[in-house]
Structure 1
Amino acid sequence: MVRARRRAGGFFRDFREFALKGNVVDLAIAVIIGTAFGKIVSSFVEDVVMPFINPLVSVAGKDWRTITIGPGIAIGKFLGSIVDFIIIALVLFVVIQALQKFKRQEEVAADLPLDANLVAQERLTGALDRLTQTLESRNTQV
């Protein structure tokens, strides 16, 4: 009985550590935001984009998203999902490009030449640290 409790306690402790890791929480937030973003894009496509496109591609006076082939093969709905995906991919591409451009600007700003006094101080500090480590290692060897 005691072993079973320890195993269960260890299992729950391990699960809690796993579930509360930053990566898992970040992934959960990304999924939730992605779902909401998908709904926004679907609404944008259905309510804003498609009213302009439907008259151009309508078949026999009905919405192209309602086109079915044979018994229940909803080809129009499938094509609508492809349009949604393309728009989501395009928006993500634009956002990622903007973030990469912003990162490049930060890197360029970080690559600017530093103050000569600051560089000299950093070199001196590094040299003193290495000297201290060398002296400490010699004192422990003697």
Structure 2
Amino acid sequence: MFKEFKEFAMRGNVVDMAVGIIIGGAFGTIVKSLVADVLMPPLGLLLGGVDFSNFFVVLKQGTTAGPYAALAEAQAAGAVTINYGVFINTVISFIIVAFAIFLLIRGINRLRREEEAPPAEPTTKDCPFCMSSIPIKASRCPNCTSDLAKA
């Protein structure tokens, strides 16, 4: 049983998938940091010093009554909140990841098109009388001696 598991785990597809998942997780962390630490602060500054991660709606007050200045403060008080600012950050992260994947797929498709050579021009044709293969520029079939200009 261990031998079968080892054969399964060492297949090329399984190893490739594991590497892809690990790299995907690392890429997700990079994108999350890009959104939270690089994109959102200037965007919030342009909108008047707003921090998107602190956009929330209180559904039920916590042990300490609000208003709460920050989401962390509301959560520490045990308030029930809808955290739509965190959702906005997540949507922006998704858009960045989707765009990066789009660029990757676009590059791969471009490489595939470059690898595929256009089909070569045909050099032969079939004689309509005897159906043998003859040069494309021939005006008379060398096999049946038919005049191809009349065909």
* TM-score interval for Structure 1 and Structure 2 normalised by the shorter chain: 0.5 to 0.7
Q: Which residue of 2 is the match for residue 119 of structure 1?
A: none
Which aligned segments of 4 or more residues in structure 1 are displaced greater than 6 angstroms? none
Q: CA deviation at 1:112?
A: 6.2
Which of the residues 40, 43, 48 maps onto 2:30? 40
Q: Which residue of 2 is the match for residue 14 of structure 1?
A: 4
Q: Which residue of 2 is the match for residue 106 of structure 1?
A: 115
* Aligned counterparts of 2:43 and 2:120: Cα–Cα separation in 1: 54
Q: Which residue of 2 is the match for residue 74 of structure 1?
A: 83
Q: CA deviation at 1:90?
A: 0.6
* Aligned counterparts of 1:97 and 1:79: Cα–Cα separation in 2: 27
Q: Which runs of 5+ in 1 are unaligned?
A: 1-10, 117-142
* Aligned counterparts of 1:42 and 1:83: Cα–Cα separation in 2: 9
Looking at secondary structure, tell me which structure has more helix per residue. 1
Calculate the aligned-residue CA RMSD, in Å. 2.1
Letter in 2 for 1:107: E
Letter in 2 for 1:32: I
* Aligned counterparts of 1:69 and 1:85: Cα–Cα separation in 2: 23
Which of the pair has more CA radius of gyration?
A: 2
Q: Which residue of 2 is the match for residue 88 of structure 1?
A: 97
Give deviations 1:90-137, integer Å, cap 9, x for gaps: 1110111011011101113xx4649x9xxxxxxxxxxxxxxxxxxxxx
Letter in 2 for 1:77: V
What is the TM-score normalised by the length of structure 2? 0.59
* Aligned counterparts of 2:81 and 2:14: Cα–Cα separation in 1: 39
Do the aligned partners of 1:68 and 1:75 also contact (CA within 8 Å) in 2?
yes
Looking at secondary structure, tell me which structure has more strand per residue. 2
**What fraction of aligned residue pairs are identical, expressed as a percent?**
40
What is the TM-score normalised by the length of structure 1? 0.63
* Aligned counterparts of 2:88 and 2:34: Cα–Cα separation in 1: 16
Letter in 1 for 2:56: T
